[in-house]
Amino acid sequence: MNWPHGPTHWLFEPGLYIVTAGTYRKLPHFDSPLRLDFFQESLFQCAREFGWNLRAWAVLANHYHFVAASSSDPQTLRKFLGKLHMQTAKQLNLLDSTPERKVWFQFWESRITFERSYLARLNYVHHNPAQHGVVPLAEDYKWCSASWFARNAPPAFVNSVKSFKIDRVHVPDDF
C-alpha cells in the first residue's frame, strides 16, 4: 500500500532509473551559478561514490532530475540521495545562516524498462531547463547534460534521442 504522504520506492532490480527531487516548498535555493555549481559537483561526487552512472541530468533552482544506471544494488539510491541532500542542505544553511532549515522535500524514482522509454526520458531530462523557460536552448544551460551529450554521443544517437517526444513522459515536475 502506498503511504499517502510520500512516494513508494521500488528499488529491487539493478537497471536504469529516472530520479526527481525538489526543494521544500519549491523554494529556489540554488538561485546562483555558485550554488548550481556546488550542487552539480555534489551530485557527480555522490553518484561516483555510490556507483551510479549518470546518463543525463538537469539541475535547476528548486529541483533536479537525472537518469542513471544503478549500482548492482539499487537500494544504494537511498544512501546516495540521503548523503547528497544532507551535504547540500548543510552547506546552504551555513551560507544562509539558517541552521536546521528544511531544504529538500522528497524524491521520486522510476525504473526504466523499455528502450523507447529510456530514450524519451533522456530527451526529457536534457531539455528540462528549456521546458521550464530558464533558457531558450537547453544546450546553453551549464547545469544540465544537453551540451555534454551533444558533444560526446554519436551524432546519430543524439538525433535519435532528440526525436523522441516528451509530452507524454510522466515525471513529477510541477516546480
pLDDT tens for each residue of 46-99: 999 999 999 999 999 999 999 999 989 999 999 999 999 999 999 999 999 999
Amino acid letter for position 75: Q
Q: Are 66 and 54 in contact, with CB atoms under 8 Å apart?
A: yes
Cell (9 digits) for 93: 544553511
pLDDT of res. 1: 43
Q: Is 169 inside any structural domain?
A: no
| Position 168 in a domain | no
Q: What is the pLDDT, as a whole number, of residue 84?
A: 98
- Per-chain mean pLDDT for the chain: 92
Q: Give me the number of domains the chain comprises.
A: 1
Percent of the chain with pLDDT over 70: 93
What CATH code is carried by the domain that includes residue 90?
3.30.70.1290
Give the CA dihedral 158, 134, 39, 14, nearest 10 degrees: -40
For residue 53, the cross-strand partners are 69
